[in-house]
Chain A
Amino acid sequence: MNIYLKLILTYLKLGIFGFGGGYAMLSLIQQEVVQRHGWISLAEFTDIVAISQMTPGPIGINSATYIGYTVPGGSILGAVAATVAVVVPPYILMLYASHFVRRHQESPIIKGVFMGLRPVMVGLIASAALLLMNKDNFGSEMSECIKSISICLITFFFAYFTKVHPIILIIVAGIAGYFLF
């Protein structure tokens, strides 16, 4: 199949099932672009997440643009195709289904569906984190692993317990990486 068609179909799918925001979308994106299509490695996927965090704009758009361009056979046109594809399904839903959702916000269908989705979203984010905890990101040698785990734990502490901005945390981790590895 043509790479553009593949990009469009993949990102349409991500647009349709991308519930729960950026982080929850990560495991879906990972499943499609790393696992299914092998367009990029897990380490490269992690780099894209890092780049997304450091640049303005939502992660869903950033990843579509970046992958559409860098995928083998990709180009500016690929970036446009993937970016448009990830936006179109929710766009249509927003225009046509939003009236329905607003009118039926208290209905058992809507209430029930979102009640069921909420714990799943937490699981999706957790799975993205689990999938990224491997030797691609943490290194295969003991000494490398220990340094990586230390960076991870310290970053987690600041990310969860303080209000330090993620960009600062990434920059500091990058500087640490420069001296440690």
Chain B
Amino acid sequence: MQNIYLRLFFIFFKIGAFTFGGGWAMIALIQKEVVDKHGWVTKEEFVDMLAVAQSLPGILAVNFSVAIGDRLRGFKGSLVAALGTILPSFIIILAIAMFLTPDTIKNNETLNSIFKGIRPAVVALIVAPVFSTAKTAKINAKTVAIPIAVALLIFSGIPYVSNPIVYIILGGVGGYVYHVWSLGNKAKKGNEERKLK
């Protein structure tokens, strides 16, 4: 395949079609393709891109394909790569949605009991990353109150108070204020120490 656009599209299509479980599983495959196999970006660039794709909102794999496509061929490249990532899940889910609507599940006794077993398992699959993410986010005795408070306030169901967007904004602004404030404190301390000397 000579055309770079076609190649970009098919690589990301393949990644979109064969990675189950989203995010991180996809990143490993993307690295294999664009760093190891095609050498389109260096390992360092890849890590850099990952840091940015991870910090911005949105779906990690899509963000990443946009970054790679843009790096290689500008806007057109990013469009092709993003389409490649999105299309497989779009097609598969659309096919499922056509046959497996919420009503089909409800009205079919077998499906109904199967999903009754699946639902509590899904809850467990969401509880597990609470702990693993807490570890990677380096939650300690001092900061553990934040996730607990956020979870309970969202769970409370009180209008406005239970809106997750409130805490995303508060977290970002609060983190900034705290960071600047602690930098200021460090600077002050440094100054005082210098004066004492």
Interfacial residues, chain A to chain B (CB-CB below 8 A):
13, 15-19, 21-24, 26-28, 31, 35, 40-41, 43-44, 46-47, 49-62, 65-66, 69-70, 76, 79-80, 83, 86-87, 89-91, 93-95, 97-98, 101-102, 105, 108-133, 136-139, 144, 148-149, 151-156, 159-160, 165-167, 169-170, 172-178, 180-181
Prevailing SS type, chain A contact patch: helix
Tally of contacts, chain A with chain B, CB under 8 A = 375
Per DSSP, chain B at the interface is helix
User: Cβ of A112: which chain B residues have Cβ within 8 Å of it?
Assistant: 175-180
Contact in complex: B120, A155 (CB < 8 Å):
yes
Residues A114 and B117 in contact, CB atoms below 8 Å apart: no
B134 at the binding interface (Cβ < 8 Å)? yes
Interface size class of B (residues with CB under 8 A): 35 or more
For the complex, what is the distance from the CA of A13 to the CA of B165, rounded to whole Å?
9
Given contacts A21-B23, A57-B88, A90-B57, 12 further A-B contacts (CB under 8 A): A23-B126, A35-B157, A46-B122, A51-B96, A65-B97, A89-B58, A94-B56, A116-B175, A116-B178, A127-B151, A155-B124, A155-B125
* A22 / chain B contacts, CB cutoff of 8 Å: 22-23, 59
Whether the Cβ atoms of B115 and A174 lie closer than 8 Å is yes
With contact pairs A15-B57, A90-B56, A122-B134 given, residues A56 and B17 touching in the complex (Cβ less than 8 Å): yes
Q: Which residues of B come within 8 Å of A, CB atoms?
A: 16-23, 26, 48-49, 51-63, 66-67, 70, 75, 78, 82, 86, 88-90, 92-94, 96-98, 100-102, 105, 110, 112-134, 137-139, 143, 146-152, 154-155, 157, 162-165, 167-168, 170-180, 183
Tell me whether A91 and B58 are in contact in the complex, defined as CB-CB below 8 angstroms, given that A66-B93, A130-B155 are known contacts: yes
